[in-house]
Amino acid sequence: MWSSFEDSPWGGVVGGRARAESGDPRGVRPMSRTAVRTWSMDQPGRTVSERVRASIDRLTPAERRAARALLAAYPVLGLDTVASFAEASGVSGPTIVRLVKSLGYGTFREFQDTLRREVHERGESALSQATRSTEPLDTQGSLGRARDAYLHGIERTFAGVHERDAETLVRWLADTRRRVVALGGDYSELLARYLVAQLVPVRGGVSECSPNPVLAAGAIADIRADRDVWVVFDFRRYQASSEQLAREAAASRARIALVTDRWLSPVASVADVVLTCDVEASGPSDTLVPALALVEALCERAVEHLGESAIQRLERIDPVRQRIS
């Protein structure tokens, strides 16, 4: 177990937000390698941020500093000149060139071309996705193509999770001294609500942030610095209100855990932990299925860590639930 986020891909970077934290005295068993695996560098279709997170531990200290600066201002910093990128990172120009090569790009131009494609992809609307969809109608009525897309998305999501980030979030969710607030957008609200529904039966102090500005402001005002955790769900067509609330929570020194897509929500710049999910589906719109599977896995791990206290709470809650149902 680690005592600092400094070695995490997001530690000490994203807005300088990561802070040292002691390990759980009960001990935390790492997530199974069958559930969370590190992607190899040669997997196709990876974003720059995925490459950074997969290789961060192998970079030199100077390259790591530049990589963290990139994640903190992603993807804008990478679209600037080598000189500007280097100056903003506090490293030399040659370090930026070495970083790009360490990430698997032959040239800085190839690196920037990848970022430009990402900018286009992350800005796609539901309409643009629908109009460019060329998949033929499955005349036999089979759901096989959708099933394959969901399974592939779950596999990519779990393979891309950084183990230490996942374990950090699990430890927070299982720490009953911390209050947990879930925040979602127009569609990802489903994930926030599901996280709350999974945790409330096994631990107290879990709630969903209301879209009502007065109630949301109250939730910000109630934050206990360095103790409370906000889990933010934000996917492409990123929601401005979610970003602003996350920034307010971060300014009040809440821990911020972001669940987003591989193009990275702007909330990443203030997050302590970032978990990315695959959202591509077989049809014209994005899917939340892989993200839902990830939420399930995180909650299952948190319940394991809660142990007997979860059982005791269920023993109090379940009879009441049955009486009022």
Q: Is 183 helix (H, G, I), strand (E, B) or coil?
A: strand
Q: What is the pTM of this model?
A: 0.76
What integer pLDDT is reported at residue 56 of this predicted model? 86
From residue 26, how far is each of 2, 29, 177 by CA, in Å?
14, 10, 14
Q: Is 267 helix (H, G, I), strand (E, B) or coil?
A: helix
Check if the beta carbon of residue 280 is closer than 8 Å to that of residue 235. Answer: no
Check if the beta carbon of residue 175 is closer than 8 Å to that of residue 204. Answer: no
What integer pLDDT is reported at residue 44 of this predicted model? 52
- CA 252, CA 217: separation in Å to the nearest integer? 12
CATH number of 156-324: 3.40.50.10490
The 8-class DSSP code of residue 14 comes to G
Query: φ, ψ for residue 33 (rounded to 5)?
Result: -65, -20
Return per-residue pLDDT of the chain as tens, 325 residues: 333 333 333 343 344 344 333 344 334 444 544 444 444 444 556 889 889 988 888 999 999 999 989 988 899 999 999 999 999 999 999 999 999 999 999 999 999 999 999 888 877 655 444 455 555 555 445 678 888 989 999 999 999 888 889 999 999 999 999 999 999 999 999 999 999 999 999 999 999 999 999 999 999 999 999 999 999 999 988 999 999 999 999 999 999 999 999 889 999 999 999 999 999 877 667 899 999 999 999 999 999 999 999 999 999 999 999 999 8
What integer pLDDT is reported at residue 295 of this predicted model? 98
Cα-based torsion angle of the residue sequence 152, 156, 157, 163 in order, rounded to the nearest 10 degrees: 150
Tokens describing residue 201: 């039966």
* H/E stretch holding 139: none
Check if the beta carbon of residue 284 is closer than 8 Å to that of residue 130. Answer: yes
Amino acid at 173: L
- CA 205, CA 227: separation in Å to the nearest integer? 12
The 8-class DSSP code of residue 260 comes to E
What integer pLDDT is reported at residue 162 of this predicted model? 85
What integer pLDDT is reported at residue 280 of this predicted model? 85
Q: Spelled out in words, what is the top-level CATH class assigned to the domain 11-17+37-122?
A: mainly alpha
* H/E stretch holding 100: helix 93-102
Which residue ranges make up each domain of the chain? 11-17+37-122, 156-324
- Within 10 Å of residue 228's Cβ, how many Cβ atoms? 21
